[in-house]
Structure 1
């Protein structure tokens, strides 16, 4: 089953980290990504640009509305994700607990709906 591991962290806290700590975390991310690629769990993963680059889109009464920035102000922002293949939620939790930023923020795990069987 596929799970989306959404990485939330405080952008301001991340930006305030000393360069050496940022480099260490990026090295840990590289090692983590390499390990889940080798184990066969990796499907996809990306880091996201900061929230100030976001655009939120809504359509109301047939009119498209766009807003600069994220939908809501929060203390933690979505900073990236991994899409993984795991046998069950326990394995997904184990994978999420190894993501380096889990020490700074949190990782939300969401199972992905597989529509392939119903779209015959």
Structure 2
């Protein structure tokens, strides 16, 4: 079963890893920050060894984004993302796991202090969740 894990973060200040730039994460004692980071790195290694991690990327600053919308019969570009948004997409990971429970287990480790993580199943061209 394939899922995408979407990492949402505050765009100010912007950087990766996102936790290093979030007040909730920075407020933790160093030992707790080290534990959380270690758990994340161990999970990534485990996922790579099991073939569950298909890919992922950190995304650049939302200031560099462009939005494309259909208007009057053609695509029109503009600055993006929405300026009123408090959170923006910071990155994503594509995973392929045995079942939904494993996807939930993985997503829980991705969700650090001050971050919002979205777990969403992918769909095949016919619209079926797989």
TM range, smaller chain: 0.7 to 0.9
Structure 1: how far apart are the matches of 2:50 and 2:89?
A: 25
What are structure 2's unaligned runs of at least 5 residues?
none
| Unaligned segments of structure 1, at least 5 residues | none
- Displacement of 1:88 in angstroms is 2.2
Q: TM-score, normalised by structure 1?
A: 0.75
Deviations 1:27-63 (A, max 9, x none): 7654442221112210111100011011000111213
Provide the TM-score with structure 2 as the length reference. 0.70
CA distance in 2, matches of 1:7, 1:40: 21
Match of residue 61, structure 1, among 67, 72, 75: 72
Secondary structure of 2:91's partner? Answer: strand
Give RMSD over aligned pairs: 2.8
- For residue 113 of structure 2, what is the aligned residue in structure 1? 103
Per the alignment, residue 70 of structure 1 pairs with: 81
2:106 partner SS: helix
